[in-house]
Amino acid sequence: MNRDEILSRIAAAPDLGALESLRVETLGKSGSVTALLKSLGQMDADTRTREGPAIHGLREAVTNGIAERKAALENAELDRRLATERLDLSLPAPSSPKGSIHPVSQVLDELTEIFADLGFAVAEGPEIEDDWHNFTALNIPETHPARAMHDTFYVEGDGHHVLRTHTSPVQIRTMQTQKPPIRIIAPGRVYRSDSDATHTPMFHQIEGLVIDRGITLGHLKWTLETFLKAFFERDDIVLRMRPSYFPFTEPSAEVDVGWSMEKGRRVVGGSEGWMEVLGSGMVHPKVIANCGLDPNEWQGFAFGTGVDRLAMLKYGMDDLRAFFDGDLRWMKHYGFRFFDVPTLSGGVGA
C-alpha cells in the first residue's frame, strides 16, 4: 500500500471506529508503516540514508492525517449532537436533590440561630476596607506594632484600601450608624496572607459586639459559655480565660475550652486539656470614642472566632485547606442535606 492510498483511506474513514482500525493497520505493533521503520535497522548505511527520510516522512504524514481526520469526525459528531439533542426544561426535578450544604454554611446558620436567640442582630460590611476602618479606628495607628500581627493584602493603587483582615470594621460601622444599645454579630469572609493545614488566605470569622450601659466582663463570660454550650450541644463545656493583648479591647482575654478523648479522638467537652477557640475583651475606650460615643457612658465587650475552626472542632475535620478545594468526595462526606435545618434551630433554650 503506497502513501497516497493510505492517506486516501484515512481521509475517507467514515467514523472513529474505522479510523482506529486504520491506525492499528498502519501504526500499530504489526502495522505496515511500523514494519518499514523496523526494516531500517537491517539496511546498510547507504540504503538507510536513501530510504530513511521517505519512511519517516510516511509515518509523519500518516500520523498527521489520522489526527486531522479524528478532529474532523469529533467536530462533526459534536455538531450533530448540538443540532439534534434537546433538554426538556419542563421535566420534573429529581426526587432527591444531589447537592449538599457546605459545613461553613451550616455552621454559620447554627451560629446565627444561637445568637438570634440571645438577642443579637446580624450586621455586614464591605470586604474591601479602607485603612481607617480596618486599623486606625480599632486603635491600631499607622506606626502601631500590632499591624505586624496581620499579614495584610493591600489593594493595588492608592495604598489605603485592604482586603479586610477581620470583621471588626463592621463593629466600627455599626457604632457609627446605630445608637446604643447595640447587640450584633458580624460573620463574613476575611483575608490574610497565610496558608497551611490550619490557615488559608481566605477564611470565615464571626465577631460579636455588645454596647450598653454597665456592661462588665461577667456579661462577656456568660455569653461565651452559653454560646459554646449551645453550639457544641454539651453541658460539660468548661472555659478558661487567659489575659492577652488586642489593641481594640482592654482588658483582653484568650478563651480556651476544655477537651477530652472519646474513641481515640479529641472532642470539645470535659477538662483533660485545653485548646484556644476565640479572643475577646472589653471594648477599648478609644475605640468607643473613635465612633463618636462617650466611653464614660457606654461600655461593651467584643469577641471573635474562626467559623471554619469551629466547624473543624464540631464535625471532626483535620485540614482547613480541604474546605476550599471543591472536592465533591469531601463534600459528600462532610456536607449536609439540602433541606436540613440547623441543628440548633430550637434556640439555646431547646
- For residues 267 and 13, the model is more confident at 13
pLDDT at 304: 94
Are both 48 and 177 inside the same structural domain? no
Are both 170 and 258 inside the same structural domain? yes
At 198, the pLDDT band (50, 70, 90 cuts) reads low
Helix (H) or strand (E) holding 24: helix 16-27
Residue 348 domain-assigned (yes or no): no
Residue 267 domain-assigned (yes or no): yes
Q: Cell digits for 228?
A: 459554646
What percent of the chain lies above the pLDDT cut of 90?
A: 37
CATH number of the structural domain spanning residue 128: 3.30.930.10
Q: How many domains does the chain have?
A: 2
Are both 215 and 321 inside the same structural domain? yes
Q: pLDDT, tens digit, for every residue of 22-55?
A: 888 888 888 888 888 888 888 888 888 888 888 8
Q: Which of 27, 49, 84 corresponds to the end of one domain?
A: 84
Q: Domain containing 280: what range? A: 101-337
Are both 35 and 67 inside the same structural domain? yes
Q: Is the pTM of this model over 0.95?
A: no
Report the C-alpha gap between 138 and 136 in whole angstroms. Answer: 5
Are both 43 and 182 inside the same structural domain? no
Are both 78 and 119 inside the same structural domain? no
pLDDT at 293: 94
Report the C-alpha gap between 290 and 248 in whole angstroms. Answer: 11
Q: 89: which strand partners?
A: none
pLDDT at 350: 42
- CA nearest neighbour of 247 among 152, 350, 336, 136: 136
Residue 343 domain-assigned (yes or no): no
At 341, the pLDDT band (50, 70, 90 cuts) reads low
Q: pLDDT, tens digit, for every residue of 79-95?
A: 998 888 887 778 777 66
Q: Cell digits for 321?
A: 485547606
Q: List % helix, strand, coil for the chain (3-state, nearest 5).
A: 45, 25, 35
Please answer whether residues 241 and 221 qualify as being in contact, where contact means their C-beta atoms are separated by less than 8 angstroms. Answer: yes
Are both 281 and 308 inside the same structural domain? yes
What percent of the chain lies above the pLDDT cut of 70?
A: 90
Residue 67 domain-assigned (yes or no): yes
Burial of 326 (0-12, 13-18, 19+ CB in 10 A): exposed
Are both 141 and 11 inside the same structural domain? no
Helix (H) or strand (E) holding 254: strand 249-262
CA distances from 71 to 30, 66, 67, 344 (A): 25, 9, 6, 56
Q: Is the pLDDT of residue 63 over 80?
A: yes
**What value, to the nearest 5°, has the Cα angle with vertex 284 and ends 281 and 285?**
145
Please answer whether residues 205 and 304 qualify as being in contact, where contact means their C-beta atoms are separated by less than 8 angstroms. Answer: yes
Report the C-alpha gap between 302 and 247 in whole angstroms. Answer: 12
Q: How many CA atoms lie within 13 A of 104 on its CB side?
A: 18
188: alpha, beta or left? (left if phi > 0; alpha if psi -120 to 50): left
Please answer whether residues 259 and 274 qualify as being in contact, where contact means their C-beta atoms are separated by less than 8 angstroms. Answer: yes
Q: In this structure, which amino acid lies at residue 177?
A: T
Q: Report the sign of the C-alpha dihedral through residues 262, 264, 268, 270, in that order.
A: positive
Are both 159 and 51 inside the same structural domain? no
Average pLDDT of every residue of the chain: 86
